[in-house]
Amino acid sequence: MGVRRRRKPSRFSVLMTPALARRQECATIRYLSDVYSMPSPWPAVVDPPWYHVWPLQLPYKIQITFRIMPSRNNFAADLILICNSLDAGGIERVVMTLANTWAQAGRRICVITLHDKRRFYSLDPAVKHVVIDRAGLNRLLDLVRWIVARLQSDRPARFWLLGVIFGALCRFGGRSLYRAYISIVYTGEAFLLRRALKRIECNLIVSMGTSINIITLRACRGMERRVIISERSDPRRLSRFKRWDVLARKFYNRADLVTANTRGALRDMSGFVELGKLAFVPNPVAPVKWNGNGSKGEHAPSHSTGNSHPFILNVGRLVDDKAHTILLDAFALLGERFGSWRLSVVGEGRLEENLRTQADGLGIAERVDWHGVVNDPYAFYHGACIFALPSRVEGMPNALLEAMSCGLPVIVSDAAPGPLELVEDGVSGLIVPVNDAGALAAALRRLADDPQLCNRLGKAAKARVSEYELPKAVAQWETVIGLPALTPGTVSAV
């Protein structure tokens, strides 16, 4: 009887052996020009030499890339901060500010993000950054849509018919598919996060953002760690997203502590969270780093903002909640008497093209400057004459805090409770009805015509946000979350 020869595995099966499967962090499949990521149970520590990349070329233009991690990657931390990413955003800015401040003070800080597809903020080298690649889970729906589009574009009738049927199922069952997608994605993310947390020796965890809070609470169940969640937006907006409202009411009370950056949010959450678990923590406002020349009310420095005329400033994502359409309408209503004034919009978002079209239709396109995301917003704060934020929904916007800390006169809408905790009409700013372009235009004219009023409101605004200054805010965070104080000259042991 002949000896049975052992079959030599293919290159693909070699990579998928159990030994490597236990160590892989992520597999990225590139098919033609489309990229889809498949996560695995192990997170990746971003900074080298924690992992290395192993590419594999396969036929049919498919490439699989593995990030291989060491078999053990345990370390200790005093605090773990969890957020979605380090992209430009309010939550991300707070995480970056707190992590860097504590790390520079000698604390062992770990930041966990669910993806690192685009990084805007930088962490201190002493901060350990762990990434759980969420991109693959987020692209599942995009993959389905791509398949449908691919099938519909092919000439063979059977592929076209299959695409039509599949597309119809997606359209008519979209809501059910979305619920299933959310359930699968967030269950998977909770599993991946739990695996990552088990590899870090830390008893204090702080998460930020509604979806991240829910994922963290699911991941930490039964782990006997102190879990603190932070709601960073207006909880009333969750009523627009019934699924999130239900999940928040179900999971939030499981946390050891629920914090918010507005007292109005705490009142709204008192209906489904025990009062003893609720606490207020402020957004820290980093010290002003702008070194340009020029003072309030003067022309903006052209080298920093590209503007040499008095201008109105708005900073925020270009999404519907920020009500940029109302701001453009109000700016157009100012009239020829304010023809030398300009509107500067700092930020980016999916509505930018529509907003540019609106500005062109209103005849103000030549007086509106779109700056996108900038690294140094303080050049704009110090060069602007007025800060306008007519949002429909807000938590506690960092942009408003920064503008007030720079002594800018501000205009906000009456829709969001967060800004109303800072701005008292006629004292530390002006308040206008939400979605009222006429009222906003009148407020802009009032400030543009009265430099003394601008100066008085700016001084009051700066005094109002003094409690949000970095040292005070960080000290309050440490007290609320129970982070032990460091004596001067001591460093947390590694």
For the chain, list the domains and their CATH numbers: 75-137+173-280 (3.40.50.2000), 302-472 (3.40.50.2000)
pLDDT of residue 101: 94
d(CA 83, CA 120): 14
Residue 213 near residue 233 (C-beta atoms within 8 A): no
d(CA 370, CA 364): 12
**Contacts with 378 (C-beta within 8 Å, 6 or more apart), sequence order:** 288, 289, 290, 402, 406
| Residue 379 Cα distances to 306, 342, 417, angstroms | 10, 16, 28
> Which of 142-163 are b and which e, b meaning 16 or more Cβ less than 10 Å from the residue's Cβ?
eeeeeebeebeeeeeeeeeebb
d(CA 380, CA 347): 12
Residue 147 near residue 166 (C-beta atoms within 8 A): yes
d(CA 335, CA 342): 12
**Contacts with 480 (C-beta within 8 Å, 6 or more apart), sequence order:** 257, 259, 279, 280, 281
Per-residue DSSP letters for 129-184?
A: EEE---HHHHTHHHHHHHHHHHHHHSSSHHHHHHHHHHHHHHHHTHHHHHHHHHHH
| Residue 192 Cα distances to 21, 42, 128, 215, 365, angstroms | 14, 7, 18, 10, 47
Q: How many CA atoms lie within 13 A of 215 on its CB side?
A: 30
Per-residue DSSP letters for 274-314?
A: -GGGEEE-PPPBPPP-------TTSPPPHHHHS--S-EEEE
By CB neighbour count within 10 A (0-12 exposed, 13-18 middle, 19+ buried), where does 239 fall? exposed
For the four alpha carbons of 290, 291, 294 and 296, in that order, the dihedral sign comes to: positive
Residue 443 near residue 432 (C-beta atoms within 8 A): yes
pTM: 0.74
pLDDT of residue 415: 85
What stretch of H or E contains 240? none
Mapped onto helix, strand or coil, the DSSP state of residue 320 is: helix
Per-residue DSSP letters for 457-486?
A: HHHHHHHHGGGGBHHHHHHHHHHHHTPPPP
pLDDT of residue 75: 85
pLDDT tens track of the chain, all 494 residues? 455 554 444 333 333 333 333 333 333 322 222 333 333 343 444 443 333 333 433 333 333 333 333 444 578 999 999 998 898 888 999 999 999 999 999 999 999 998 877 788 999 999 999 988 654 555 555 665 566 565 555 555 455 556 666 666 666 555 565 566 667 777 888 888 998 999 999 999 999 988 899 999 999 998 989 999 999 887 666 555 566 667 788 889 899 999 998 888 888 888 888 999 999 999 998 766 544 444 443 334 333 445 568 999 999 999 998 999 999 999 999 988 898 999 999 999 889 999 999 999 999 999 999 999 998 889 999 999 999 999 988 888 999 999 999 999 999 999 877 889 999 999 999 999 999 999 999 999 999 999 999 999 999 999 999 889 999 999 999 999 998 877 555 444 33
pLDDT of residue 189: 84
Lookup: tokens for 106: 């000698």
Residue 251 near residue 214 (C-beta atoms within 8 A): yes
Per-residue DSSP letters for 50-98?
A: S-EEEEEEETTTEEEEEEE--S---EE-SEEEEES-SSSSHHHHHHHHH
